[in-house]
Every structure is written in structure tokens, then in C-alpha cells.
Amino acid sequence: LVYTGRYTDWTREAILAEVEKQMKPSRFQHVLRVEACSIALAKKYGASLEACSLAALLHDFAKEHDAKSMKKIVLSQALDSEMTGYGSEIMHGPVGAYHAEKVFGIMDRAILDAIRQHTIGGEVMTLIGKVLFIADYIEPGRTFTGVDEARRLAEISLDEAAYFKIEKTIIHLVKKELPIYPGTIHVYNSWIQRKV
Ligand code: GDP
Ligand code: FE
Ligand code: FE
Ligand code: FE
């Protein structure tokens, strides 16, 4: 996939090199699998391959950044300060979107929102957002119970797969007695209220 320059001046290869510097090798491999999976879903569902590739390559850019620098960005960008109470888990999406704009010059709202929302989903999600949300969940390296059902649903409907992830994530967090970020609940409520 060769980038056209529509979304960023960076080449795909230069982005890969910069992303690789931000994380351990195993996570970089995850990023590459999310990209491959995103491109496959983009082809199936008619999304922009270039936009989905970019969102995937940058989605976990901030995941291993230190909590202090992430908190600084959350506060300076007037993001929901409540997300600082969940380690990197909730912050790395919104902070990743910030870097996508600042470092790579991405201005496309759908790409930035996809990165921002990739962990918890969104009350409203674009096609690109759904592609990344699902690809991150079902890439071939994922082995959790239920991933096969998620992969099956992704063949049928992105919305069904997204709803599945939203529901299973809540169940998983409750079972593990982990605190649930209010935004995670908001997204769940929004999706369940729209479900037929
Ligand atoms: P990754 O960055 O590729 O590992 O994947 P994600 O960005 O999707 O998820 C990061 C982690 O955040 C996962 O383990 C989720 O279960 C977890 N997570 C999602 N929502 C919440 C929440 O509301 N609270 C907490 N504590 N963790 C959450
Ligand atoms: Fe992530
Ligand atoms: Fe990820
Ligand atoms: Fe609220």
C-alpha cells in the first residue's frame, strides 16, 4: 500500500519506523497485524484502505508512553481528566490521536476519531472507526475466549461485531473486578439502546 499524501506527508515506511521506536517489538507486531486485519475489513466493507491503514499504524502510538506525559496532554488538551485514573488503558487512544495530528499532521476527523475511540468505542462511530475497533479485537494474535465468535460476526456485520466487543468488554471488566471508565458505560448504553 503506497500512501497518496492525502492524509499525511509521511510515507508508510517512515511512519512504520517512527511507530516501531515507541514500543516493544511484540506490540509493533500487533500493530502490523491490526493494519493487515484493518485492510482486509476495509476491502470487505468498502472503507478507504489508506485511512484504515493509517489509523491502524498509529492506534497504539502512545500505549507505552509514560503516564506523566500522557496526563500532561490530557490536561493541556482539555480531554476528560477522569481518564487519567485508568493507567494507560483509556488515555492512550485520545493521546494517540493527539500525536497523530501533532507528529504526522493528520487532520482527517474520521482517522483521528478512530484512534481516539479504539479502546472503548464511541456512541457514534464512522466506518473507519468500526474497522479499527474490530481489527484491534480480532487480529490473529488475539486468543481470548470469544474471539472466534467475534471473527465470525466480523464476517457478517461490523455493527454486530462492535456490539459484541462492547458487551464482552463490560462483562470482562466486571468479572476481573476492574474499574469501568464512565465513557465505557456511556458507549454501552448508547449501543444497547439502539439495538433492535
Ligand atoms: P491494546 O491497546 O491493543 O492492548 O487494546 P485496547 O486499546 O483495546 O485495550 C486496552 C485495554 O483497556 C484492554 O485490556 C481493555 O479491556 C481495557 N479497557 C477497556 N475499557 C476499559 C475500562 O472502562 N476500564 C478499564 N479498567 N479498562 C478498560
Ligand atoms: Fe490500544
Ligand atoms: Fe491495539
Ligand atoms: Fe457521565
The complex's ipTM works out to 0.95
Q: How confident is the model at residue 111 (pLDDT cuts 50, 70, 90)?
A: very high
Stretch 168-183: mean pLDDT, rounded?
98
Phi-psi sector, 178: left (phi>0), alpha (psi -120 to 50), beta? beta
Q: What average pLDDT does range 138-167 have in this prediction?
A: 98
Work out the average pLDDT over 109-138.
98
SS3 of the chain: the string is CCCCCCCCCCCHHHHHHHHHCCCCHHHHHHHHHHHHHHHHHHHHHCCCHHHHHHHHHHCCCCCCCCHHHHHHHHHHCCCCHHHHHHHHHHHHHHHHHHHHHHCCCCCCHHHHHHHHHCCCCCCCCCHHHHHHHHHHHHCCCCCCCCHHHHHHHHHHCHHHHHHHHHHHHHHHHHHCCCCCCHHHHHHHHHHHHHCC
If one residue of 60, 82, 119, 174 were mutated to test the ligand 1 pocket, choosing by the most ligand atoms within 8 A of its CB, it would be 119
Which of 32, 111, 36, 31 shows the shortest CA–CA distance to 64?
A: 31
Kindly list the structural domains of the chain, giving each domain's residue range(s) and its CATH number in brackets, ordered by start.
12-194 (1.10.3210.10)
Q: What residues contact 82, with CB distance under 8 A and at least 6 apart?
A: 181, 182, 183
56-106 confidence digits (pLDDT tens) = 999 999 999 999 999 999 999 999 999 999 999 999 999 999 999 999 999
> Which residue's alpha carbon is at the smallest distance from atom 24 of ligand 1?
180
- Tell me, in angstroms, the distance from the centre of ligand 4 to residue 185's CA: 8
CA 95 to ligand 1 center in whole angstroms? 14
Q: Residues enclosing ligand 1, CB less than 6 A?
A: 30, 60, 63, 86, 89, 118-120, 136, 169, 172-173, 178-181, 184
* CA gap 129, 135 in Å, rounded: 10
